[in-house]
Structure 1
């Protein structure tokens, strides 16, 4: 007989039939009443009491209910029976009380995925664990494969765009491939801006380019729904307890090494949810991942900046030069910056179709000027200017036609030369005696006006 025929004949579930057929040796059959139905369960006697507890607090946890039943009412059943009953009773009681699904926002639906289908990503703030080494803050990057719960973690001192996706590349190398979907919260390195519920989420262009290069989909959670990536949220706490707790480190490399040494112990454990060894389930997960492309994706910050009159462009508190013959003052150019390089592009291609203007190593700190001298070719250098102290008398140029010596410039030169000639000083009475005139006086003419 097949399992279905035995199930119909005995009134048992097919899984129960399979359990007893696969057991070695004779097994005690399940208890049944004379009419073939199952005997009353222990939990059924306490069902009205559980319903009353849920009516008093609809979000009461099943663990709390089980604890109160065992301590106050002599309940002898296990927690699993209570949890299964509460899962079915809570929506029914909520409907009786007129509570809408929105008021049950603290609850969530558990889900499972197939191998290689999904990974979840999150950041952890590890605080000042390396403050004694001059590193003010340390962050932990986490990626967890949803099917097997196989973890990856690395530690950084920054959460910028390049670091974020560099951690992705390290995670893909750790797992040996990329998943079909990665779940994120609304971090600014993935989402360009926040939108109202129900609207399409605009992705960061670098995040979209990175996902397209490694062939995975981006799944952005709704706001204030951390339970959507509960696997990685839990993993942050597990790594903090098992890898960092009670230890001292001198660098992020030492912290990464401590996680790498802990991974085999984690993979050897039986997970409490799927009840399998994590490493065995991870092998199926890794085999289903998508292969990595031969070349990595270069993630860069992109900004628009104006060109100054000195052919310098400001970025990150530093100045970078561009060719003077290819730009004009106040022209907007695009900056693509990685951790080690700054590339400057024109927004419109030139006659040859080229847009790259310059490429510089990224300056460390602030206040630096990164200049390539040939970018200033063609600009005045100031070396042709002439100056004089005025001590040497000006001499007319030899062989110059007289007609060219007259003019505004020559008049100024003549006036400058005449100002240096010493002139004799004499009183005005000398000129009065020579001309026979009376000297000019300012005596008051009061008699003429009286």
Structure 2
């Protein structure tokens, strides 16, 4: 195939061009018939004449003519091109580039040549020179690998443009998850807004359910959700994805980085999804797009004759491949959340915004934490070292007291008692305030109680007693509120305020205000 005037001229078109000339047609007639400009027609007719084609002689068979044209073209290049004369003096330098052992392509040699000589030549000129002189840069020969039914699927994410979360909602960037069964070419498409682990696994599960089975191998893209460290020979699978792999019994085979040929079937489908499923359609929201995608996979693209197999993918799937897929497991897969955590000096790791304790000997170590639906499991070097019930309330401390060493535990248990004793020495109001702050979770609220006692040292016992009385009256035990009372010198109410008593939440009276709150400009809590 030859590139001329921004068009790709095929060998069939060249042969037709020469045949029409051979039969007596002129350049203008050929130009009008085939749509090529006159210079292009003249170029190939001259090449045919060099190859020995002449009017009044038998027209050669197509294969023979193609060989003659190729030989004539190379001979013409070797004999006439002025650019070759520019390249020839630098042959040894080019040979050195080729034999350095580093991977270098023709385009880079062309760039380096222009930098070195400050002369401009065409890239195709350099390519022809390399092929003729070094028998190098020949087109890469590939072998198409076909697979057995049910043996392989290929998956990837591709950009799907902007979609709405709900009818009339805001537009967001969407992605298309695509899984193709390599034998039948039957595919599954789902649009999503995220490319995280949970979405990645959920899309796999939906695809397996759509096919009603699981392939033996899944060739996946080097997305972080599936592969943490891409490597041709020893890829490290994401832990959650690896769990799903074992649950369903397939083998994950990461594609080589930046090698689309290793996932050719799915890589070629990404533009097909954009061009045939999305182009020209305005979906109400992403849910409608997914409904359309399922129908498209079965009834439209699934029933079109495939360009390679010349068969309908959905029919091939039903008749030959569906029965070869692995049966789906009876139990649903519990999608886990895995995270690498460091055990902090306070004996806890932070996982999903909650805190989980571990024994002292693990402080400073990096561990892997797995969060399931009900429990959290902590692993070190593949060994389970701790199990906790999972908390879904952010900021919760899940602490096993036995994780502390005996001496530290005794200190921690004594600390709340010490705080209560210090508060009692200041006065009864402060003691009551500290007891209220510590409450039923003394260890969790210990720092707040200690901070309040430091305020007493700064402002004095009398001021602290007054502030404690006011805080107790309003049921407001927040540190900042207590500090604001002391800074502003606010006093407790002198007389009880009659007001309608309402049923309160466990927060107590912290949201109620006395009558003078709405008239006084100085008695306002921050």
TM-score in terms of structure 1 length: 0.56
- Give how far 1:99 is off: 4.2
Number of residue pairs matched? 304
1:93-143 deviations in Å (ceiling 9; x for gaps): 998764447x645x6433322211221111111233338734632111100
| Cα gap change, 1:373 to 1:142, in 2 (>3 Å) | same
SS at match of 1:387: helix
Distance 2:262 2:381 in 1: 43
**What does 1:136-285 align with in structure 2 at a 5 Å threshold?**
136-195=172-231, 199-263=233-297, 264-283=299-318, 284-285=320-321
Unaligned runs of 5+ in 1: 1-39, 58-92, 392-450
Looking at structure 2, the residues matched to 328 and 111 of structure 1 have their Cα atoms a distance apart, in angstroms, of: 50
Q: Distance in 1 between matches of 2:316 and 2:307?
A: 13
| CA–CA separation in structure 2 for the residues paired with 1:236 and 1:390 | 74
Residue equivalent to 1:369: 395
291-300 or 169-178: bigger deviation: 291-300
Instruction: Check the 8 A contact 2:357/2:399 in 1, yes or no.
Output: no
Q: How does 1:31-430 map to 2 (within 5 A)?
A: 41-50=61-70, 98-100=134-136, 104-105=139-140, 108-130=142-164, 133-134=169-170, 136-195=172-231, 199-263=233-297, 264-283=299-318, 284-308=320-344, 312-315=348-351, 318=353, 320-322=354-356, 333-337=367-371, 343-345=376-378, 347=380, 355-361=386-392, 368-371=394-397, 379=413, 380-381=415-416, 384-385=420-421, 386-389=423-426
Compute the displacement of 1:144 (Å).
0.4
- Looking at structure 1, the residues matched to 207 and 143 of structure 2 have their Cα atoms a distance apart, in angstroms, of 28
2:358–2:386 Cα contact (<8 Å) kept: no
The TM-score, its normalising length taken from structure 2, stands at: 0.49
In structure 1, the partner of 2:457 is none
Q: Is the 8 A contact 2:230 2:254 kept in 1?
A: no
Q: Deviations over 1:160-193 (max 9, x none)?
A: 1222122111111111111122222333333332
Rg larger in 1 or in 2?
1
Does the 8 Å CA contact 2:376/2:390 hold for their aligned counterparts?
yes
Query: Could you say which structure has the greater relative contact order, defined with CA pairs below 8 angstroms and 6 or more residues apart?
Result: 1
How far apart are the structure 2 equivalents of 1:53 and 1:152? Answer: 48
For 1:230 and 1:325, the matched residues in 2 are separated by 50
Equivalent pair of 1:177/1:290 in contact (CA under 8 Å): yes
Distance 1:273 1:55, change over 3 A: farther
Unaligned runs of 5+ in 2: 1-59, 78-128, 403-408, 429-526
Q: 1:51 to 1:124 in 2, by over 3 A?
A: farther
For 2:257 and 2:217, the matched residues in 1 are separated by 19
RMSD (Å), alpha carbons: 4.1
| Residues 182 and 217, structure 1, Cα contact 8 Å, conserved in 2 | yes
Contact 2:226–2:238 under 8 Å retained in 1:
yes
Structure 1 residues 265 and 328, CA, compared in 2 at 3 Å: closer, same or farther? closer
SS in 1 for 2:391: strand
